[in-house]
Amino acid sequence: MSQIKSLFIILFLAFLASCSAENATEQDQTAAIDNSANSTESDNSIAGTVTSSNGPEAGVWVIAETHDLGTRFARIVVTDDQGRYVLPDMPDASFDIWVRGYGLVDSGKVSAAPGDSLELAAVLAPDAAAAAEYYPAGYWYSLLEIPEAEEFPGTGPTGNGISSRIEHQADYVRLVTNGGCIVCHQIGNKATRELPALFNGFDTSAAAWSRRIQSGQAGGFMTRTWTSMGIEHVSKMYGDWTDRIAAGELPPVPERPQGVERNVVITQWDWADPTAYLHDVVSTDRRNPTINGYGKLYGALEESADYLPVLDPVNHTIDQVPLTMMDPEAGPVGGPPLAESPYWGNETVWDSAANVHNPMIDQDGRVWITARVRNRENPAFCQEGSDHPSAQGYPTTAGGRQLGMYDPETGEYTHIDTCFGTHHLMFAEDEDNTLWTSGGGQVIGWLNTREYLETGDYEAAQGWTPFIIDTNGNGVRDDYVGPNDDPDATKDTQILPGFGFYAVNPAPDGSIWGSILGYPGGVARLVPGDNPAETALVEFYQPPLDENGDPIEGFSPRGGDVDRNGVMWTAMASGHMASFDRRLCQGPMNGPEATGQHCPEGWTFYTEPLPQFKNLDRPGSSEGSYFTWVDQHNTLGLGENTPINTGNQSGALLALHEGEFVRMSVPYPLGFYTKWMDGRIDDPDAGWKGRGIWATFSGRAPFHMETGEGTTSIVYHFQVRPDPLAK
């Protein structure tokens, strides 16, 4: 017994020692975090704790904003589980600091400067309606009631009001997410879920909506979109949504940031001007994200203005690069307003001729853009009778947008005429630094930038080819039948994939991936071969459908990107992020059996973190992101090949990390909406501080953000630190 008692005492003492050591470790860790959060001596942080009448507030945002610098600057962090926060590396300025979070209303603003320790008082929302004012737009949009599945196919204006061209409920969902209005701006924010006073004179909210979509210079596009769906039916649907919200219906409650989401640091700068809207931003060379470290960023104003906005994020200053036209007679692409706007009246605020869409930086820091340089008719070297190799294979007659190049070293902007239309662009990893483009419609085009920079001859340096599928299955490109011709088992087949490649993504193996718009849409892989104008072949893969043509899960890709393993990732109108892994395909990928539905096993779907539409019983959510961008080189810090969706309805970037979405939410100003992002490593030895993801506000209506009229587009820098209090 004495031996057993002695053994028990020894084990008990060992247990106490273990507990003591564990407690000491926890105390050391807590002390380290406390020191990090509360010690602001000799650093430029602002730190403290957020508490309310309920005690410490975890997972809420602390916002710091100043107008003392060259442009408006803001930094936003999230509190830890004890309500503590650290705003790191604050520039020398006076800041307004306040607290925002789900379940709260904004606290009063408090002045502070770098080095201050600041205890902040959070304010609990007095009721559910006040709390809901801070919810992301997609939560409000999820209250929209989509027509029931049995109402499809539509029976037109003399039937159920839904266009007879819409055969599936899923296609209708596409047109209320990233295939329709959300392609240009967020819906569900305060500016869109309420009707402006300009439309108060209508008898019904449906009539007000029918008039509302005619407003401004985008009125024609919006009206055509709704007309294609059945404008009276759609107007009633949105009118009902507006009426229910006005009567007090509230959306589901979002979850506060958790886990890694509390480690996110967001920095903002204003740029551009209140009448301009951006599409994209570029910071570095996608292939080597250490290029242009700490350097200037460049934006692409779409049809709104003829300059590249420039941000210097180190000195907090902004600038502009003026854009010119090769043909000075080529006027603006936008017309006058279709009807009066509640924000701009009858003023024509967009006047761009260059119509820049997408920028990329090359290995030497030059900025390449898809830009209009002339009117639509192509020059003679593109057309029938030309001796250009690509024109001999497939002459082209017109194009809406070409290319431009800006060299920051010389300050010169150069026009590059192309025979193919351009939309997005991306460099391949080859010795020619080939610049591939989307937006050519019937063809895909490219520019050998090495040759062009050496010779200045854009005619010789470019090429294009139609989209040819190897339907006879012999592995090479042969004579082909046209897209509207009868099939011929001995020949290949040309396809016209709607917009052509929408996204264009050179993969490490030399293939070029793209997304195909529409319903059910798909992804495509082009293999250029030795002479792309004559040898390029395309493979096409649709998301899986059932025997009725309805989606089994996700449908209708929009923007997408490829990872280092050749896996294509894309944002779906169904409220999914999807991956397509060609390596999983079990059957033939060309020949007569390659119908588009021949590799369902290649698809995987991840539901985006928003509620599904109120009455839908199908997989997905009310999100429908615009684009998926893949962080191939771990510029964010969540690992290589991390796919990130633009989260347009979530007001967030949505990073898929270890199978779960990390919501990098932008709580202020409400209304964050981006179409693209770019990852840069400023200093590979600086840890989390030396890397991050850049994005810009890309909606057509910056004035829809909570800050209202006078708001400009914003540049956002997303960083992920190791813990919520790291400096």
Exposed, middle or buried, 322 (CB in 10 Å: 0-12/13-18/19+)?
exposed
- List residues bridging with 368 in a β-sheet: 360, 405
Residue 30: pLDDT above 60? Answer: no
pLDDT tens, residue by residue, 133-142: 999 999 999 9
Contacts with 150 (C-beta within 8 Å, 6 or more apart), sequence order? none
How far is it between the farthest Cα atoms of the chain?
107
pLDDT tens, residue by residue, 430-458: 999 999 999 999 999 999 999 999 999 99
Residue 128: pLDDT above 50? Answer: yes
Residue 545: pLDDT above 60? Answer: yes
CATH number for the domain formed by residue range(s) 39-132? 2.60.40.1120
Mean pLDDT on 296-322: 97
% of the chain exceeding 90 in pLDDT: 92
* Alpha carbon 179 to its chain's center: 14
- What SS3 string covers 456-516? CCHHHHEEEEEEEECCCCCCCCCCEECCCCCCCCCCEEEECCCCCCCCEEECCCCCEEEEE
pTM for the whole structure: 0.94
Q: In this structure, which long-range contacts are made by residues 331-335, counting pairs with CB atoms below 8 Å and at least 24 apart in sequence?
A: 332/303, 333/303, 333/372, 334/217, 334/303, 334/304, 335/217, 335/220
Mean pLDDT on 153-169: 96
Quickly state the pLDDT bin for 497 (edges 50, 70, 90).
confident
Q: Quick check: 274 and 284 in contact, CB under 8 A?
A: no
Mean pLDDT on 551-577: 98
Q: For position 496, what pLDDT does the model report?
A: 84
**Any idea what DSSP says for residue 7?**
H
Which amino acid is present at 257?
A: P
CB count within 10 Å of CB 247 equals: 7
Q: For position 498, what pLDDT does the model report?
A: 66
Q: Quick check: 621 and 554 in contact, CB under 8 A?
A: no
Please give the backbone phi and psi of residue 560, each rounded to the nearest 5 degrees, phi first. -150, 175
Length of the chain: 727
CB count within 10 Å of CB 244 equals: 16
Quickly state the pLDDT bin for 5 (edges 50, 70, 90).
very low
Q: For position 499, what pLDDT does the model report?
A: 62
Please give the backbone phi and psi of residue 610, each rounded to the nearest 5 degrees, phi first. -130, 160
pLDDT tens, residue by residue, 207-243: 999 999 999 999 999 999 999 999 999 999 999 999 9
Q: Quick check: 261 and 663 in contact, CB under 8 A?
A: yes
Q: In this structure, which long-range contacts are made by residues 194-202, counting pairs with CB atoms below 8 Å and at least 24 apart in sequence?
A: 194/242, 194/245, 194/246, 195/242, 196/342, 197/342, 198/340, 198/342, 199/342
How far apart are alpha carbons 272 and 275 in whole angstroms? 9
The DSSP-derived string for 15-69 is HHHHHHHHHHHHHHHHHHHHHHHH--TTS--EEEEEEETTEE--S-EEEEEESSS
**3-state class of 693 per DSSP?**
strand
Q: What is the average pLDDT score of the chain?
A: 93
> Any idea what the Cα angle at residue 369 is, between residues 363 and 374, rounded to 5°?
140
Mean pLDDT on 312-326: 98
Quickly state the pLDDT bin for 28 (edges 50, 70, 90).
very low
How many CA atoms lie less than 13 Å away from 706 in the CB half-sphere? 13
Q: Quick check: 692 and 284 in contact, CB under 8 A?
A: no
Residue 324: pLDDT above 50? Answer: yes
Q: Which helix (H) or strand (E) holds 665?
A: strand 660-665
Quickly state the pLDDT bin for 318 (edges 50, 70, 90).
very high
Which amino acid is present at 265?
A: V
Of 630, 621, 583, whose CA–CA distance to 603 is shortest? 583
Please give the backbone phi and psi of residue 89, each rounded to the nearest 5 degrees, phi first. 50, 55
Mean pLDDT on 163-187: 96
**Any idea what DSSP says for residue 582?**
G
Torsion, Cα 22 24 27 31, to 10 degrees, reads -130
Quickly state the pLDDT bin for 96 (edges 50, 70, 90).
very high
Contacts with 316 (C-beta within 8 Å, 6 or more apart), sequence order? 69, 70, 71, 73, 91, 269
Quickly state the pLDDT bin for 287 (edges 50, 70, 90).
very high
Quickly state the pLDDT bin for 311 (edges 50, 70, 90).
very high
The CA-atom distances, in angstroms, between 522 and each of 50, 498, 511, 597 are 47, 11, 17, 10
Q: For position 7, what pLDDT does the model report?
A: 37
Of 506, 522, 513, whose CA–CA distance to 555 is shortest? 522
How far apart are alpha carbons 619 and 555 in whole angstroms? 10
% of the chain exceeding 70 in pLDDT: 94
Mean pLDDT on 684-700: 97
> Any idea what the Cα angle at residue 362 is, between residues 357 and 366, rounded to 5°?
75
